[in-house]
Structure 1
Amino acid sequence: MTTAVAAPFRFFSLRVVRTRRLGPSLVRVTFAGADLAHFHSHGHDQSLSLFLPAQGRTEPVVPIELGDGWWQGWRELPDDVRAVMRSYTLRALRRNPDEIDIDFALHGIGPGAATPPGPASRWAARARAGDPVVLLGPAVADNRAIRFRPPEDTDLVLVWGDETAVPAATAILEALPAGTRARAWLEVPHAGDVQDVAAGPDVEITWLTGGRGALAEIRAARLPRCERPYVWIAGESGRVRELRRHFVQERGTDRRRVTFVGYWRRGLTEEQLRAAGE
């Protein structure tokens, strides 16, 4: 049974259809299920909450039957029962058949990993067709979990994202209207993680690999002449703050035209961030 939560969001019971390794540090997982007929989004950085089975379990346990009370019920479940919740962005939505793609950054699994993998990275690296998940996502196409909203008068789009934001960033770049000028800087751990992006001829993408710092690259960049830029930056919280400061204070961008999203924070798990209220 699927229970509505609070419009415009609801739960979706899904299963893995297939997986595809995009590089040493990235894997794409495709999900399907009858519930996807009710999944609607027109945002290209659509945020989702994904629930995965707790370690040692085969099904994600989420008390969706509680409706709006699911959150408290989920928190009260024992640690070895409660489904693991992680935040992701939608990479693609297709119809006929209904499918969605979510790209996972495999922290702690790629070559040279310095830290052990978390539960979502372990799950994604081993995901197989038929594996069940629960998704909390949009039932309404225009919803508050979409952050990329350039003003109509934008004459240059500027994008930065690390490996956790690459799915949203590439989806954004591919969906820009023809003739939209854009510059993007995308950071991935390894050269093998660089992807082909089906963006228009006015979109310039710089891939940064092997720990090359974005701030120095962006500071040195000569941007096209523009009067009304729009900036979208997402990824590790500390880097996001640093880059926002650069665009607002050093380049003089109107802060109202800068969207910044911290997808994660170095040294903290998502549970710790949630407990801290971030």
Structure 2
Amino acid sequence: MTLPVTVLDVVAVRRITPRTARITFEAQALADDVGGTPDQQLKLCFPRPGQREPVLPAQQDDPMGWYRAYLAIPEAERPLLRSFTLRRRQPGTRRIEIDFVLHGSTGPAAAWALRAAPGDRLGMVGPSTLYAPPVPFAEAAVAADWVLLAGDETALPALATLLEALPAGVRALAWVEVADTAERQELVSRADLEVRWVHRDGAAPGAALTAAFRGAEPPAGEPLVWMAGEAGAVRALRRRLVEEWGVPKPRIDFTGYWRHRLTQDDAPTAEDLADAQERLAARS
């Protein structure tokens, strides 16, 4: 199975909160299954300074061939890669929506999104069902007594698609940390949903969300947990759920989307590598 590489043209830019931009792209090519399942991960290719559009790796015939082709691009021309989640595909079109958290002007993704306008161009690698979990989230949720989804604003695109995929009759809890009240987004689900918004109000990333679980009592029965956000905060919250709520580790799907004071270009820490190994073992 190949990992698709395509060109994206900006069609529209809309602020859905003061710090989040929803950008609509027209893809030059898009597989039929894109947007058909929740939490579809992809990589965006951003142009280097001085480039109007990124130089993209050639399409390859094997899943990791794109990365070898990417590394073969001269470093001065090689696009900057950042990971995102598909928020939505507009039915019957090649138009997709991706949310950008505007957390400053230094990172390539946020800096690009701050000035994005119709006609701008990016590249996209993925998404692909190759990396889908062995048991679909909605199917696993039906088999559980309750579902918890937790994260920060970077997790909201994936979290929202997972909630939208849940059927009626599922008990779902969504605990989300955002900067302040203005950053709340509407979350829609057919499930029996309870949403708790936690405001950071200047605290360190993840501190408010982790603290919110202190003293809270988990629902009775078998859980299913999904969480994502700042890597250190995800680790701390996972420990709390295991040690204080008694959630078995195999029942927690966790991902560190970003790292405080580090970028995706920085080398992984020992904790990052340990997390990756544990996630691979859980899915094997």
TM-score (norm 1): 0.85
Q: Which residue of 1 aligns with 2:278?
A: none
Q: Do residues 15 (structure 1) and 13 (structure 2) align? A: no
What does 1:154-165 align with in structure 2 at a 5 Å threshold?
Answer: 154-165=144-155
Could you tell me whether the CA contact under 8 Å between 1:43 and 1:146 is conserved in 2?
no
Contact 2:87 2:161 in 1 (8 A): yes
Counterpart mapping for 1:10-49 below 5 A: 10-38=4-32, 40-49=34-43
> Where does residue 130 of structure 1 map in the other structure?
119
**Are residue 97 (structure 1) and residue 97 (structure 2) matched?**
no
Shift of 1:201: 6.2
Distance 2:12 2:158 in 1: 20
Alignment of 1:1-278 (within 5 A): 7-38=1-32, 40-64=34-58, 69-109=65-105, 117-139=106-128, 142-145=129-132, 149=137, 150=140, 152-200=142-190, 202-209=192-199, 210=201, 211=203, 213-224=208-219, 226-273=220-267, 278=273
Unpaired segments of 5 or more residues in structure 2? 274-284
What's the offset of the Cα at 1:74?
Answer: 2.4
| Residue 155 of structure 1: how far off its partner (Å) | 1.4
Query: Any idea what SS the aligned residue of 1:56 has?
Result: coil
State the shift of 1:274 in Å.
5.9
Higher relative contact order (CA 8 A, sep 6+): 1
Describe the shift of the 1:43–1:146 C-alpha distance in structure 2 as closer, same or farther (beyond 3 A): farther
Structure 2: which amino acid aligns with 1:49? K
Describe the shift of the 1:40–1:59 C-alpha distance in structure 2 as closer, same or farther (beyond 3 A): same
What is the distance in 2 between the residues matched to 1:233 and 1:133?
28
What's the counterpart of residue 3 of structure 1? none
* Superposition misfits of 4+ residues, deviation over 4 angstroms: 65-69, 145-148, 274-278
Is contact 1:52–1:85 with CA below 8 Å preserved after alignment? yes
For 1:180 and 1:215, the matched residues in 2 are separated by 24
Matched length:
262
Closer, same or farther: CA 137–65 of 1 in aligned 2, 3 Å: closer
Q: Distance in 1 between matches of 2:120 and 2:70?
A: 21
Could you tell me whether the CA contact under 8 Å between 1:46 and 1:146 is conserved in 2? no
**Alpha-carbon distance in structure 2 between the residues aligned to 1:168 and 1:138:** 13
For 2:119 and 2:171, how far apart are their aligned partners in 1? 41
- Which 5+ residue runs of structure 1 have no aligned equivalent? 1-6, 110-116
Deviation at 1:151, TM superposition (A): 5.4
Q: TM-score, normalised by structure 2?
A: 0.83
2:43–2:126 CA contact under 8 A, matched in 1: yes
Change over 3 Å in CA distance of 1:13–1:188 after alignment to 2: same
